[in-house]
Structure 1
């Protein structure tokens, strides 16, 4: 069993506002940090998210490769605004849909269980999906009209025309988007599909760029 490691960062008043925890078992110890603002958990094992209620100011949570028996219990939290989940968990989007306060959501490694559930997150501004299962999962993203930042990898097994159609739709459905990163493995990228989109940041990876 790996040793528990808890690293803390304090504000000017000496209160712990930032914690990075490795290999912890349970979250009961969070009662020692009522001023906590940001929490990162890597490895370890927790039964559920009981303990987060001791940190009413917690707004950023990052979970990485931690064994979690009851992921759905996270949906009870109403303070977290930025959530990053790195791992393979059940019911992630079913849980996240109950967190209406979310402004940023990243799901890395795992496969989303139906992106239509994200439609309930009307205030979501930043989204990163490492894996997308279907073209319908892509089109569901277009309902999130407040997005300003999007990072997404294209699903495999679809035609170039279907991917191009999604990209062409971004300008019409995501008018506030200013930051875009696309994973285009096995697809060509045609710059004309994003014509008219005003971006401050753009990148595309795993692609063949075709300049018409």
Structure 2
């Protein structure tokens, strides 16, 4: 016979849950953040390649990066100020789906103007993803809470490393191919985020799972 599973909600002030219940959402939210940070770094490092491909003038070669940065900052700040975060599984998965399509649109851009617009939408999706996934990591309160900070820092460093790696991958796959790799990573992040992150981040701090 299998042991029964007792799912209890502890009273206020009791210790938060440990183990897989909190680690799985936190780790996949960290991966989602890393993909969004990688999107920013790759766009920053390859924006001149995009401009050169479309023979853009020197005065406009940084427009894709500018559009991405504006979209990211506006979305991240707007999400941070929205108050209580509900149904995070769906909002986060939608943001990651938008990140996927933004990367795909940029990879398939037929012209420079389209690329600039796609980069702006890409930045908005990245900003939402960074903010939403960051709140999931913070709600998990890994360890004494400092673990959540470490995970977000690791996501940032991973994103920067991916951007540096894009410089080496670009001669092999082209800038379109590098953004194609972002598409693949974003699809995986959206899938796992929807699978492991609960609807309400409060569940990470109030749901105690015990096997007795």
- Place the TM-score, normalised by the shorter chain, in its bin: under 0.3
**TM-score (norm. length: structure 1):** 0.21
**TM-score (norm. length: structure 2):** 0.21
